[in-house]
Structure formats: C-alpha cells, structure tokens
Homo-oligomer: A and B are copies of this chain.
Amino acid sequence: MGEREPGDPAPYFDFHIFVCANRRPEGHARGSCAARGSEKLRDYMKARAKELGLKRVRVKTAMCLGRCELGPCIVVYPEGVWYRVDTVTDVDAVLAAHVQGGGRVKRLMLP
C-alpha cells in the first residue's frame, strides 16, 4: 500500500473528499450514485465546507467509484474512509464529526 515518503511535497489539503457523481441509465440493475441524488449532495457539501471556512478541505467530483449498490458514496483521503451520504444531514455529520472533529461517523461508514 502507498505510503508517504520523507521527500514528498507537503499535502495541498488536509481532507480531499471525492463524491461519486456517476449516473447510469434509468432502471440499471446496480443503480448509481447520481440517480440517488449525489450531485445535489456534492454541491451542498462544497457550499457547506466553504461556509464553515474549511480552507484545507476540497470536495471534488469523481466518476464511478465502483460501489454503486452502496451509494451515494464518498471517500475521504488521505485516510481512505468511505461513507454513504444519503441526505444533507449525513453530509453535515461527516463535516462535523470527521472533518472538523477528526473522528468518524460510524453509522454511515461503508463496511
């Protein structure tokens, strides 16, 4: 597994959050994160992180992260923790407990 080396440049961000915005056709067996509303949740998360003044956080769009059935999925790096965020309340919980609090939102973590 990849690890930081002493010579690596300092990270640009403390938290780099990727939100899956992949959309499959209506009726696809696996569904998709966008079909479950991930784009609006991503926009909310971006705006909310800005409102909270979280300058060392970036919320970015990813295409399929491969865990469609469990979505809407996000993954928080560098720690590589995955969440399902289904509502703005879930987004708030991740920003408060994980990003600001340095903890975890156990109920939303993917197995």
Contacts and interface: CB of A to CB of B under 8 A. Distances in A.
Which among A8, A60, A64 has the greatest number of chain B C-beta atoms within 10 A? A60
Contact of A77 (B7, B14, B78, B110): B78
Interface in A50-95: 56, 58, 60-66, 75-82
Size bracket of the A interface: 35 or more
Q: Which 10 A-B pairs have the closest CB atoms?
A: A61-B63, A2-B79, A1-B14, A77-B77, A78-B78, A11-B80, A4-B79, A78-B80, A2-B15, A62-B62
B66 A63 contact: no
A27 interface: no
A3 interface: yes
